[in-house]
Structure 1
Amino acid sequence: MLGNMQNLFDTVKKAQMVVQVEAVKVQKELAVAEFDGYCEGELIKVTLSGNQQPVRTEITEAAMELGPEKLSLLVTEAYKDAHQKSVQAMKEKMNDLAQSLGMPPGLGGGFK
């Protein structure tokens, strides 16, 4: 009986190590990935990394001419677009990781 428990413990420990290694791999992939977000009319482009760190913001002359209030709204819109794309990519990576580890659908940390 104790031998079976030790085998189970060893198997769980190995599985945890695999999950940790794969999770670090996914984090590294996301850290170097870039996601561009745009406002309506593509007057502004915001780029975020896969872990939602700002990388750069590009503002066209046409956007600058709209004034500070409108410009602020457009930057926020572009940022939200980039953030949504980055979060979606993270969810997909986590779902892929869960599936590669043989986890049934729905057990991948609640990512959808």
Structure 2
Amino acid sequence: MQNLYETVKKAQMVVQVEAVRVQKELAAAEFDGYCEGELIKVTLSGNQQPVRTEITEAAMELGPEKLSLLVTEAYKDAHQKSVQAMKERMSNLAQSLGMPQGLSEGLK
């Protein structure tokens, strides 16, 4: 029984170390999102923190309401890409640790 306990403790440590590694990778990664026509580019980190927003002169000429919509569209695109990358990395982590398929699906 003691061996089982030690094995479980070691497995927990491996999972924690690998999860921290993946989180650090994601925090350092950047994901660009664009609005239609690529008039605006929003960059988010892998943990969905805003990094920068680039707005073209052409976007500025569209007026504040349209500009707001385009910024939101670009932000949503960057967010979706960042979340998808996180899901893929967490799923890969679960698979590399030999977690059952159903359990790794829960990480998405």
The normalised TM-score by structure 1 is 0.94
Q: Which structure 2 segments of 5+ residues have no match?
A: none
Give the distance between the partners of 1:52 and 1:26, measured in 2 at CA. 14
Residue in 1 that maps onto 2:5: 9
Report Cα offsets for 1:52-101 as digits up to 9, x if no partner.
Answer: 00000000000000000000000000000000000000000000000000
> Residue 66 in 1 paired to residue 54 in 2?
no
Residue in 2 that maps onto 1:39: 35
> Residue 82 in 1 paired to residue 50 in 2?
no
The normalised TM-score by structure 2 is 0.97
Give the distance between the partners of 1:104 and 1:65, measured in 2 at CA. 53
Give the distance between the partners of 1:83 and 1:105, measured in 2 at CA. 26
Give the distance between the partners of 1:40 and 1:106, measured in 2 at CA. 37
Give the distance between the partners of 2:20 and 2:35, measured in 1 at CA. 32
What is the percent sequence identity of the aligned residues? Answer: 90
**Letter aligned with residue 44 of structure 2:** L
> Residue 50 in 1 paired to residue 37 in 2?
no
SS for the counterpart of 1:57 is strand
SS for the counterpart of 1:107 is helix
* 4+ residue segments displaced more than 4 Å: none
Deviation at 1:111, TM superposition (A): 3.2
Q: Could you say what the CA RMSD is over the residues aligned between the two structures, in angstroms? A: 0.9
Give the distance between the partners of 1:18 and 1:40, measured in 2 at CA. 43
Which is higher, the Rg of structure 1 or of structure 2?
Answer: 1
Deviation at 1:109, TM superposition (A): 5.9
Aligned positions, number: 108
